[in-house]
C-alpha cells in the first residue's frame, strides 16, 4: 500500500517530462522552420547586430563584409547574401531578405571571386579563389543558355560603386526598423538610382524604388540624371 503514493508521483513526473519534451520539440521545430526558409520578406537565420564594415572588392563595383561569418555583399544599393545555396537580397543590412531566383541575380554579384565569400559552400573549395564560382556548372545548361554572357565584361573599366547607405549606422539591432519604416528612411536618406535592382523580388506595399523607368532611356540621359540625383543621408537624426 505504501508504494501507491510513490507510483503516483513517478507517473506524474513521467507525464510532466513527456509534456515538457513535446513543448521543447515544438519550439525546436519552430526555430528550424525559421532558418533558411525561401519565402520573400523573412529572416533567414542571419543576425547582423549592427551596420557592417563594408570593404570594396578590388576591380568590382561590389563591397563585402570581411569581419562577418556570412557571405554578405553590397551592390547597386542592395545587400546580397548567399546562404543555403540560394541568393537573397535586401535594402537593409539585416533584412528582411527576399529570395532572388538564380536567373535574375545581377551579373556583378555572380562575378564576385570565390575568395571573397566568408562562408563558402563545400563545392566552392575546389575552384580558383581569384575567379567567380562556376555557376554554369552548378545550375546547369538551362541557366547557362539564359545567361551566356554573365562573365564577359570589360575588366579594365568596371562601373562605379554605389554609395554606401551609411545612415543605417544609426539603427543597430535594438533600434532596427520594421519594413515600413525602412522604406520611409530609404526614401529620405538614400536616393541613389539603382541600375540593376533584384528582378523578380516581391515586396508588399508601394512600388519599390528600384522599378525600371517605363520608357527606355539613352545611356547619356541616364548618366545625366544620375549626376543630378541627390544623395543624402550620411547623418540622419538620432
Closest residue by Cα to residue 81 from 148, 32, 131, 36 = 36
Position 86 in a domain: yes
Show the domain range for 85: 55-205
pTM over 0.85: no
Position 20 in a domain: no
Overall average pLDDT of the 64-82 stretch: 96
Weakest mean pLDDT among 112-116, 138-142, 199-203, 229-233: 199-203
Position 124 in a domain: yes
Position 188 in a domain: yes
Question: What confidence tier does 213 reach under pLDDT thresholds 50, 70, 90?
Answer: very low
Closest residue by Cα to residue 185 from 197, 193, 177 = 177
- pLDDT tens digits along 143-156: 999 999 999 999 99
Alpha helices, H only, the chain: 3-33, 107-110, 135-139, 141-146, 179-189, 219-228
Q: What is the pLDDT of residue 192?
A: 74
More confident residue, 157 or 208: 157
Position 227 in a domain: no
Phi, psi of 142 (to 5 degrees): -65, -45
Q: What is the pLDDT of residue 191?
A: 78
Q: What is the pLDDT of residue 43?
A: 64
Position 8 in a domain: no
- Say if residue 120's pLDDT is above 80: yes
Alpha helices, H only, 155-213: 179-189
Helix or strand or coil: residue 237?
Answer: coil
Position 181 in a domain: yes
Q: What is the pLDDT of residue 14?
A: 53
Asked whether the beta carbons of 200 and 104 are under 8 A apart, the reply is yes
Overall average pLDDT of the 41-67 stretch: 90
Number of domain units in the chain: 1
For the chain, the farthest-separated pair of C-alpha atoms sits apart, in whole angstroms, at 96
Q: What is the pLDDT of residue 193?
A: 65
- Side-chain half-sphere CA neighbours of 200 within 13 A: 11
Position 129 in a domain: yes
Q: What is the pLDDT of residue 33?
A: 23
- Say if residue 214's pLDDT is above 60: no
Amino acid at each position: 500500500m505504501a508504494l501507491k503514493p510513490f507510483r503516483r508521483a513517478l507517473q506524474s513526473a513521467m507525464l510532466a517530462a513527456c509534456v515538457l519534451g513535446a513543448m521543447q520539440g515544438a519550439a525546436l521545430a519552430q526555430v528550424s522552420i525559421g532558418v533558411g526558409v525561401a519565402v520573400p520578406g523573412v529572416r533567414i537565420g542571419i543576425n547582423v547586430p549592427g551596420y557592417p564594415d563594408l570593404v570594396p572588392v578590388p576591380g568590382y563595383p561590389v563591397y563585402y563584409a570581411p569581419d562577418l561569418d556570412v557571405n554578405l555583399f553590397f551592390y547597386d544599393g542592395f545587400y546580397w547574401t548567399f546562404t543555403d545555396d540560394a541568393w537573397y537580397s535586401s535594402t537593409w543590412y539585416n533584412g528582411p531578405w527576399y529570395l532572388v531566383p538564380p536567373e535574375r541575380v545581377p551579373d556583378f554579384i555572380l562575378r564576385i571571386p570565390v575568395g571573397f565569400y566568408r562562408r563558402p559552400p563545400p563545392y566552392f573549395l575546389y575552384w580558383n579563389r581569384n575567379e567567380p564560382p562556376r555557376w554554369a556548372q552548378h545550375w546547369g545548361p538551362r541557366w547557362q543558355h539564359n545567361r551566356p554572357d554573365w562573365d564577359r565584361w570589360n575588366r579594365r573599366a568596371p562601373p562605379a560603386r554605389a554609395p554606401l547607405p551609411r545612415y543605417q549606422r544609426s539603427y543597430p539591432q535594438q533600434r532596427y526598423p520594421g519594413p515600413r519604416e525602412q522604406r520611409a528612411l530609404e526614401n529620405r536618406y538614400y536616393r541613389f538610382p539603382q541600375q540593376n535592382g533584384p528582378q523578380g523580388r516581391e515586396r508588399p506595399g508601394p512600388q519599390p524604388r528600384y522599378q525600371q523607368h517605363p520608357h527606355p532611356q539613352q545611356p547619356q540621359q541616364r548618366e545625366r540624371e544620375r549626376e543630378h540625383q541627390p544623395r543624402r543621408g550620411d547623418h540622419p537624426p538620432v
